[in-house]
Amino acid sequence: MSTVATFPHRICPATGRVIATSAESLIKVNAVVAVVALLIGAIAALLLVLTRWQAVHLLPAEWYYRILGVHGMNMLIFFIIYFEMAVLWFASTVLLNARPANPKLGWFSFGLMMAGTLMVEWAQWTGRADVLFTSYPPLKAHPALYLGVILFAVGALTVTGLFFATLVIAKREQRYEGSVPLVVYGAVTAAIIAVITLLHGAMIYIPTFLWSIGLIKSIDPQIYRMIWWALGHSSQQINVAAMVAVWYMLSGLTIGGVVLNEKVSRSAFVLYVLFISMASAHHLLVDPGFGPAWKIVNTSYFMYLAVLASMIHGFTVPAGMELGMRLRGFTDGLFGWLRRAPWGDPGFSSLVFSVVVFGFVGGITGVTIGTEQINIIAHNTMRVPGHFHATVVSGTAMAFMGATYYLLPLIFRRKVAFWGLAKMQPYLFSIGMLLLSMGMTFAGSFGVPRRHWDISFAQSPFEVTFNPAVDIVLAVMGIGGILAVTGALAFIAIAVKSVFFGEAITTWPLGKEIAGIPQGLTMPPVHAANVDELNEQLHDEKRGIAGATPGTLVLVGIFLLAFVVYYFTNWKLLSFLWKVG
Amino acid sequence: MLTKVHSGLDPVPGVWWKPAHKAEKVWVAIAFAWCMVLFAMMPLWHWKGGQNPSGIRRRVDAVKFYERTVEFAQQYKIGEYRGVPIAAPPPGSEVYLTGMTFQWYPILQLQAGATYRLHMSSLDVNHGFSLYPLNVNFQVVPGYDYALQVTPTEAGDFRIICNEFCGIGHHTMVGRVIVVDADGKPLADNAHAVIRDREAK
């Protein structure tokens, strides 16, 4: 029986799950460090956005490039990966009522990651690593940068190993019946991709470290770009897999979202594992090192099968939400389920924003600019950060923030502080990020380069004057960035206040709203006793092609239409250029 | 208890390979078909379209490539602008462009409608070739010669912005390409936009 545990633990009052004490502290410490990294990254973000907004142009050149490197490392590596370590510990222990494998080694790995983090921060802040996040050779940084990344990666790889070991233990000790839940399956996907990714990281950072201390004469810049991006882009697929897992989790917790079909959702996760590491090619489409055939096969994840996976989740997640709501009696019309959802629950609003912005903005722009030829009008322009801020920030970070609103009462056993602010935070953050992404994307369409201190080109030998519209879209980016940073700082304030000074809670009465506890925990979304029967009725053949989830079918139809229009518009724009080939 | 209706947080029976409902099958089929369209567009554009990253490339010694560029610039030099030679190669010729911190060498003068083979490489670190205001972007990697068949379609005074971070002076790195029409306009030596516009009036 899964509730009888022989290891030190407590029973969750809301969900009845067994929470191992040793796992709980590992989840907490990783989540706290993630938030600290987020704080550093957010302050950096504010400085950057106020510099790229040409009308403000805050930082001097040297500090702009330095802070850009700091922002990349803290957000894309430290914040995201520490949080993912927390997710891995959570998924393998709490969701399976299990104990963690070797928590001592878990702490040692955390120590390694911390040592690596501090080395990288030191190298960057002291100006010893002004090579930006990508550190393309022959640009050379202090060895501490490369060694720091290596230590961090070894730590993360060890935690991933412990995650797999924990799954084996949970199975062997019969902590759950049948197969692991879908959310854990998604976490397994993320962990497998993490192994692939981190091995690429080792392949490239170890030689580069040896080069930086003089043991290797040179690093081929093109090969570096290929292998580095097998780390750099594939690691974003860890985020995608972890984010989708969190989507399924929040869907279940907030509104009783169900899994329509395990086969469909799990197969989609398998597609990620099989094809995602080909994404390195997205950065090499206009590089000299590779021919067209290699580029086409790789950039498309072998015929877009990983895109297919995301499009499947893009249907099954909202459809699961719709069906869950309909099974709870919210059956009116096409969108009654959506209208009557708990929009004041920050876990729910985060989920919706994450799905919508990731799909409509991040997904569509990503596939489009990752097309071999269309990349000619996108490579290294601001369209690129416009795309990935919509995926990794509006998508992954937003989902992780939503999950945090549930982890605070469930794991930290604190009420969510500043509850009124917490309810607004997803709206503020998401709308800000949306403006930022769109501003960047449009600026990029005018050819505004990314990673560039001065697009007025004041110190250049030849004058360059961008279209006046660029000033407007950069202002949109600036305002969006300020809103988003405000949203991020609000999140940090809520998290820090809750964790360190929040009101402790051990149990709470069910069935009434309590400020500081998300609705999914005070009024858990329970299905009726005859839910399977209702489910059969909703899936009746007579309901035709729309089936049980007609609203979602309309939504994905709109999505596909937007996708087709955006994609072919870009081909049209491309056709206006000089003949190149 | 394992119920048929469950969330992503619940364990499921060992065998979860069950038939999908109709709506899911339809969506997966549509999504798959769309993915095939996305895939087919790329080879199709290589076949019928006019803008493709070429496959013409080879490894080179960075210094030798730069020497070849200097030789090219001397051979076709028609003038100088701010100390940088202006090279006007004949249509159909091999054209060389080297990126280095923090300049593009030399200035190119091409003819609208003519085709050239443009070789690009770098003397030192990675650079980004971004043709302003058309927004045509290619990566320039030291040690690799990337050759593109280019046909400028209209006359004008263009810039090459560096869009790959190459060091502290990255934002000052701007080059120039002049495309002249049959009448030889715009002129290479006074061809920036303001003057050109004044002449037009």
Q: Which domains does chain A have, with CATH numbers?
A: 345-507 (1.20.120)
pLDDT greater than 60 at residue B198: no
Distance of CA A316 to the CA centre of its chain: 18
Q: In sequence order, what are the residues at sequence separation of 6 or more whose Cβ sits closer than 8 angstroms to the Cβ of residue A548?
A: A260, A319, A322, A323, A326, A535, A538, A539, B21, B23
C-alpha–C-alpha distance, residues B201 and B196, integer Å: 9
Task: Please indicate, yes or no, if residue B142 is contained in any of the structural domains.
Answer: yes
Mean pLDDT for B122-135 is 96
What's residue A2's pLDDT? 52
Task: Please indicate, yes or no, if residue B157 is contained in any of the structural domains.
Answer: yes
* Chain B CB contacts of A139 below 8 Å: 125-126, 165-167
The ipTM (two decimal places) reads 0.93
- pLDDT single digits (tens) B20-35: 888 889 999 999 999 9
C-alpha–C-alpha distance, residues A7 and A21, integer Å: 8
* Chain A CB contacts of B20 below 8 Å: 260-261, 263-264
Dihedral Cα A161, A163, A169, A175, nearest 10 deg: -170
Closest Cα in chain B, distance from residue A161 (Å) = 22
Strand order in the sheet with B84-87: B77-81, B84-87, B107-111, B174-180, B156-162, B127-132, B136-140
What's the Cα-to-Cα distance from A187 to each of A182, B24, B68, rounded to whole Å?
A: 9, 23, 54
pLDDT greater than 50 at residue B191: no
Q: How many domains does chain B have?
A: 1
Task: Please indicate, yes or no, if residue B196 is contained in any of the structural domains.
Answer: yes
**Bridge partners, residue B99, by sequence:** B104, B122
Single-letter residue type at B126: N
What's the Cα-to-Cα distance from A504 to each of A174, A408, A412, rounded to whole Å?
A: 32, 10, 9
Q: In sequence order, what are the residues at sequence separation of 6 or more whose Cβ sits closer than 8 angstroms to the Cβ of residue A77?
A: A149, A152, A235
What's residue A194's pLDDT? 93
Task: Please indicate, yes or no, if residue B87 is contained in any of the structural domains.
Answer: yes
Task: Please indicate, yes or no, if residue B45 is contained in any of the structural domains.
Answer: no
pLDDT greater than 80 at residue B201: no
Kindly give the parts of chain A with pLDDT less than 70.
Answer: 1-3
What's residue B189's pLDDT? 64
DSSP per-residue string spanning B130-186: EEETTTEEEEE-TTEEEEEEEE--S-EEEEEEE-S--STTGGG-EEEEEEE-TT--S
Best mutation target among B139, B173, B196 (most A Cβ atoms within 10 Å) is: B139
Three-state secondary structure readout of A18-47: EEEHHHHHHHHHHHHHHHHHHHHHHHHHHH
Of A99, A52, A48, nearest in space to A74 by CA: A48
Output the domain CATH number for residue B163: 2.60.40.420
The DSSP bridge pattern shows strands B116-122 and B94-100 to be: parallel
Task: Please indicate, yes or no, if residue B23 is contained in any of the structural domains.
Answer: no
Positive or negative: CA dihedral A35, A36, A39, A40: negative
Single-letter residue type at A470: V
Contact B137 A378 (CB under 8 A): yes
Greatest Cα-to-Cα distance within chain A, rounded to the nearest angstrom: 76
Contact B52 A451 (CB under 8 A): no
The structure's pTM equals 0.94
- pLDDT single digits (tens) A430-453: 999 999 999 999 999 999 999 999
- pLDDT single digits (tens) A519-550: 999 998 988 788 888 888 888 877 777 788 99
pLDDT greater than 80 at residue B188: no
A179 vs B7, B11, B161: nearest CB: B11
pLDDT greater than 80 at residue B107: yes
Report the residue of chain B nearest A546, measured CA to CA: B23
Question: How much of chain A is helix, strand and coil, in % rounded to 5?
Answer: 70, 0, 25
C-alpha–C-alpha distance, residues A362 and A392, integer Å: 8
Task: Please indicate, yes or no, if residue B90 is contained in any of the structural domains.
Answer: yes
Task: Please indicate, yes or no, if residue B9 is contained in any of the structural domains.
Answer: no
**Residues spanned by the domain of B165:** 56-200
